[in-house]
Structure 1
Amino acid sequence: MSIVMGIVGILFVIFLAWIASSNKKLAFKHWKNIVLLLALQLLAAFLFLSTTGGQTFILWLANAFDELLGFAREGGLFVFGDLMSTTEGEPADVFLFNVLLPIIFISAIIGILSFTRILPFIIKGIGFLLTKITGMPYIESYNGAASMMLGQSEVFVSLKNHLPKMTTQRLYTLSAQAMSSISLSIVGAFFTMLDPQFVIIAIVLNLFGVYVIVHIINPYEEEIDDGDVEISTNPEKGKSFFQVLGDYIIDGGKIVLIVGAMLIGFIALIGLLNNIFLLIPGSSLSFQDILGYIFMPIAFLIGIPWDEAQTAGSLMATKLITNEWRRNLLLTNS
């Protein structure tokens, strides 16, 4: 039954995307690419979740991030001292210390990998492979890989010479890819909130999934050949190592401030709305409860058991109206 509901869920999502398609007839012509990408998602899920090799890789990656987070804690201890520990010497259960501060250190690592040209080499390689797999032009394929590793701002800097020449459709694809991805600096934070294996598999599935949706919602009329297009993968050219490192560390700090501010604001607003709805005479449902019931059928149709669909619907709605951080916090505590 779960397999049947999974298939129904896939078809339901494809149907929703087709309803929103800019060219419904042309979307049908991309069925080969869509089927291939769905097959790759299934293969990736099987390899990571059901094979010894996949589980070993996930465990190794999770342990590697744990080590990095340990180093990040050393930097935090120097600045915040005893605030980061309880009276028993255990790490304090504070979101800022355990989840947000490591972003700064991971961002520094990304800066080093970018300066040494290791990360750009990996991104261009993945972009080339995605071009062969997804049926998308090279710039879109590069953007998908780069967004997954660098984040939205950095990837668009590397494409700044090409953006003015691109059509609205191609710009939509680039934006969809950027908005559907998280950078490596955020992945480490998510590892502290959720089971690492699900974070990793979600990144891989999302990488292919966004191409499925784009092929349906935003199909291209003509074949596009970017040829030997040159992409600026070295925006730090001319800067010294410590200039680049400092820039990335500062960028990580900005992310921490932005995420913290967003969480404070959104969580406070949701708390206010929950209480307003509970003040309605005869009502025992909060704002989030109502959202959960609204999204409950959608959660069920994408394969979530009915007895868990209301909770899942509430999480989906929370992500939609706030952000993934608030959703992950609720998921961690549920």
Structure 2
Amino acid sequence: MEILRALGSLVLILGILFWASANRRAISWSLVAKGMLIQFGLAYLILEVDSISAAFDSIGKGFVALLGFAREGSLFLFGDLVGRVDSFGYIFAFQVLPTIVFFSAITSLLFHFGILQRVVWVFAWFMKRTLKLSGAESLSAAANVFVGQTEAPLLVKPYIAGMTRSELLCLMSGGMSTIAGAVLAAYINYLGGTDEARQIFFARHLLAASVMSAPAAIIAAKILMPETEKFVDTADVKIEKQGNWLEAIAHGTGDGLKMAVNVGVMLLVFTAMIALTNALLSGAIGEWTGLNAWIASATDGRFTEFNLQAIFGITLAPLTWLMGVPWADAAAVGQLLGEKTVLNEFYAYVSMGN
């Protein structure tokens, strides 16, 4: 039954993509098949091969160790507001946002020494050989696994002006489907809290999900917008290097600060706007129409009133069930999926943590 449900969800998602395709006749089904094989292969390696699974565990532990170093910086700056969680509680602004700044500086340093470029090149070479992608979109798709959708296009900045529509969609889809290193660290920090074992657990699974999402994004992009134009077959990693490693750290810190401030204020505004919208939905509509009582009864108390979370959870529950989520959890996961898609990814992760 589980296998049939998984196959059904795969057919449904591919069917939606096919229906929305800009040019159904131009779809390269060999690329789709190869991309799916790569994704299934990655899943098998990560879940079933002990050495690969151990490697992901080690990477997860490395992330957690770096989180500890970021915490030392936060303790120096904020003191007991970070150190005494039992007294002051888990303050998001002091516990999570500094992590983004620190990891952004680390990423900039790795780029300065040419380490990330080499890793990205290996991934890009594999994607180009197997999926027959252009050089620029191979590089950007590989880079999105490690950096964010803002930084990855910078690696292929000289090629963007000449990219085809299909390449541009692939570039943006990769950024939307994977998790940037600095933001990944923030998710691990928030979901795992101060428990190191939980942090390692979330690090391993989030990292695996991000890696497996890269070929999925390519498949989706190439069905929605098949390649019908000529493209540049080769590309090199292009990034402006700083004068020395201290400048690289300073540059990365500045970028991380902008990202952290953006995350903080966006969460503030989205949380406030959602509270306002929920008050209008539950008070003006839910009470007047009786929807509040109906929703509480229909969901066995999972949702207590007519609000955005209830709308997302109820409408997306069938889709999440098809994706493999047990029906008992389908509404909860549907809520998270709706929040991520309609509102904000970080807000959805905060909801999951709560």
TM-score normalised by L of structure 2: 0.86
Residue of structure 2 in register with 1:294 after alignment: 315
Gaps of 5+ in 1: none
Compare 316-325 and 175-184 and name the one that shifted more. Answer: 175-184
Alpha-carbon shift at residue 173 of structure 1 (Å): 2.1
Cα distance, 1:185 vs. partner?
Answer: 1.4
Taking the aligned partners of 1:316 and 1:308, their CA distance within structure 2 comes to 12
State the Cα distance separating 1:230 from its structure 2 match: 4.0
**What amino acid sits opposite 2:97 in the alignment?**
L
How far 1:178 moved relative to its partner? 2.3
- 1:21-36 paired onto structure 2 within 5 Å: 21-27=21-27, 30-36=28-34
Q: 1:124 aligns with which of 121, 124, 145?
A: 121
Query: Which residue of structure 2 aligns with residue 220 of structure 1?
Result: 227
Q: Provide the residue aligned with 2:302 in structure 1.
A: none
- How far off is 1:87 after superposition? 7.5
1:252 matched to 2:260: no
TM-score (norm 1): 0.91
Give the C-alpha shift of residue 126 in structure 1.
1.5
> Is the Cα contact below 8 Å between 1:48 and 1:54 reproduced in 2?
yes
Letter in 2 for 1:64: G
Tell whether the 8 Å contact from 2:144 to 2:179 is kept in structure 1 after alignment: yes
Q: Aligned equivalents of 2:85 and 2:329: distance in 1?
A: 38
Consecutive unaligned residues in structure 2, runs of 5 or more: 193-201, 293-305
Structure 2 CA distance, aligned partners of 1:235 and 1:119? 14
State how many pairs are aligned: 327
- Which SS does the other structure have where 2:79 is aligned? helix
Match of 1:283 in 2: 291
Alignment of 1:157-172 (within 5 A): 157-172=154-169
Letter in 1 for 2:118: F
List 4+ stretches of structure 1 deviating above 6 A.
Answer: none
Superposed CA offset, 1:180-203 (max 9, x none): 332211121122226223202211
1:70-149 equivalences under 5 Å are: 70-86=68-84, 92-149=89-146
Return the letter of the residue paired with 1:120: Q
Alpha-carbon distance in structure 2 between the residues aligned to 1:197 and 1:79: 29
* 1:205 corresponds to: 212
Residue aligning to 1:321? 342
Distance in 2, Cα, partners of 1:59 & 1:169:
35
Aligned mate of 1:308, from 316, 329, 332: 329
Q: Residues 107 and 249 of structure 1 are in contact (CA less than 8 Å); yes or no, is this contact kept in structure 2?
A: yes
- Give, in whole Å, the separation in 2 of the partners of 1:260 and 1:187: 15
CA contact (8 A) 1:85 1:92 kept: no
Structure 1, residues 193-251: CA drift from partner, whole Å, max 9, x if none?
Answer: 26223202211111110111112111112564524x4442x3125x2322221010111
Residue identity opposite 2:321 in structure 1: F
Q: Deviations over 1:60-105 (max 9, x none)?
A: 12211111111101111111112112286x8952222332211111
Of 266-275 and 215-224, the range deviating more from structure 2:
215-224
Q: Deviations over 1:259-297 (max 9, x none)?
A: 111111111111222222221322312221022112222
Aligned to 1:272: 276
Counterpart in the other structure of 1:235:
240
Greater shift, 171-180 or 252-261, is seen at: 171-180
* Structure-1 separation of matches of 2:88 and 2:280: 36
What residue is the counterpart of 1:55 in the other structure? 53
Structure 2 CA distance for partners of 1:52 and 1:159, relative to 1, 3 Å? closer
2-side partners of 1:300 and 1:23: how far apart? Answer: 30
Three-state SS of the structure 2 residue aligned to 1:162 is helix
In structure 2, distance between residues paired with 1:135 and 1:317: 33
Which residue number corresponds to residue 46 of structure 1? Answer: 44
Q: CA 1:32 to 1:187, structure 2 compared with 1: closer, same or farther past 3 Å?
A: same
In the TM superposition, residue 174 of structure 1 has moved relative to its aligned partner by: 1.7
CA contact (8 A) 1:157 1:235 kept: no
Superposed CA offset, 1:304-328 (max 9, x none): 2333222221111111121111111
Q: Counterpart amino acid of 1:235?
A: E
The verdict on how the C-alpha distance between 1:254 and 1:19 changes in structure 2, with shifts beyond 3 A counting, is same
